[in-house]
Structure 1
């Protein structure tokens, strides 16, 4: 992502890390948890099109801004709807059931994000071409059955799978501790080289640091590969 521009902002009721990548005249958003106006303002300032919305999973705090952002991006300069401008929304197929459902965990805070329909349901293993950039999709179930990580250049957008010196909760609907450990140790840590890790909450970290220091490695010998 040498020439791409990278932006970060906190969105939604839980201050999710929302990431924006713009390359030339288009870009994508990772996990718009809310604050659609603030997100769209960045694209307008950069004179760039919102080409895609990439969701790491469908918990309420990561999807709250999707519907509104799609509406904003779909309007032309005169404020008229132009569906050709609508960004494509990407989500893993196993998290589709959470949209508009108590399964997205919003009920605990009395929040039910506006429903939307994903344009592309992922399986994991895809290489997407978005804004002229290669986006590699890794299915990383555990925090959520449909959790994915997106690898773009030397960065990994990991959602709530991996954090600085920590890892995602598995006590939510369809969470699974063994799956999470497998995803981190046998998928993320198994990647060659070092990457900047950009989580859904908290500060960035690196893959090299987490390989050595993350507490999940204590259980690594007990995890079988997929």
Structure 2
């Protein structure tokens, strides 16, 4: 078995492959690591055949749907997953084949109702059911401490003590453990009485993941995160640096239209000299009136550089081929002490 472990902060993804057939599965991939996964697969001579999420993630953005479109391979999740883009729904005790490898599913609800673990030879990929020195939380949508107790003590912990444990998260730089080590030393597993375990899980009082609402929305629907939209826009748009724009402003470059896409109050408090105001929320409705010549060179700017990137991408899609975005934003412009005008448009 070929095994690559990829960490993204505390999130852990796994590329698992058969050395004989060169076929592989990618488990719990994270959206920012797509190029890394593909590079590892190419280096190891592997072809990804399955994209697997062990559960509906609430703390990171899954890459399964984007990779499925890119590679034309199926997304695999437990059969009760709500995600509409899942191609292969698999049940408890069922397997998928990777050459000589067998990936067997163990349904382990508790962290989420669709949580599953994957046993491959002497290893088990536990998602968020069992962590190194911990367990998955049960206070997120579809979490259930009673179900987690059963999944752990009646199923997962009955595997051979030597079976290696590879979780979907670890925040201390640890790569793996074993079932035996977790039984012996995992603090949460010392609560072996059902009522004591359930009470402990209900009293953890953990803070919510940073992007929980957005992550659940995108992972359950297959929609795009804000970061993904920004990354896609940035890949389609060229940029201009702050010093370059300053030089063009000072040279009174009449070939460049500076388009400030902030709201009026922000614009009037301070803008690039000569900049026009066209708020992003009105862009599509006013573009024909404000920008009648699609051949003009246009630079978009905003407060932090994100909204202007989206605006530039939109304008390019609408037929303005010479649009660029400012690399940075008005906040950086002010920090650099570059010239500012205030008030309404002249």
TM-score clears 0.5: yes
- Which residue does 2:120 correspond to in 1? 152
1:116-172 CA-to-partner distances (Å, cap 9, x unmatched) read 711111221112212431111100000000000000011100011111111110000
Instruction: Find out whether 1:19 has 2:17 as its counterpart.
Output: no
Aligned counterparts, 1:1-226, within 5 A: 4-11=1-8, 15-24=10-19, 25-34=22-31, 35-61=33-59, 64-73=62-71, 86-95=72-81, 97=82, 99=83, 117-202=85-170, 203=174, 204-222=176-194
Do 1:28 and 1:52's aligned partners in 2 also have CA atoms closer than 8 Å?
yes
Higher strand share: 1
Whole-angstrom distance in 1 between the partners of 2:10 and 2:66 = 17
Q: Aligned-pair distance for 1:60? A: 4.4
Whole-angstrom distance in 1 between the partners of 2:154 and 2:77 = 22
**CA 1:195–1:6: 2 relative to 1, 3 Å:** same
1:54-89 CA-to-partner distances (Å, cap 9, x unmatched) read 21101144652112222332xxxxxxxxxxxx2221
Do 1:31 and 1:63's aligned partners in 2 also have CA atoms closer than 8 Å?
no
Q: Which SS does the other structure have where 2:137 is aligned?
A: coil
- Which residue does 1:78 correspond to in 2? none
Whole-angstrom distance in 1 between the partners of 2:17 and 2:90 = 22
Whole-angstrom distance in 1 between the partners of 2:27 and 2:41 = 14
Do 2:65 and 2:75's aligned partners in 1 also have CA atoms closer than 8 Å?
no
Q: TM-score, normalised on structure 1? A: 0.77
Higher helix share: 2
Whole-angstrom distance in 1 between the partners of 2:58 and 2:194 = 32
- Structure 2 spans left out of the alignment, 5+ residues: 196-346
Mark the structure with the bigger radius of gyration: 2
Q: Which SS does the other structure have where 1:94 is aligned?
A: coil
| Deviating 4+ runs (over 3 angstroms) | 60-63, 216-219
Whole-angstrom distance in 2 between the partners of 1:133 and 1:166 = 28
Q: TM-score, normalised on structure 2? A: 0.51
Give aligned pairs, total.
Answer: 188
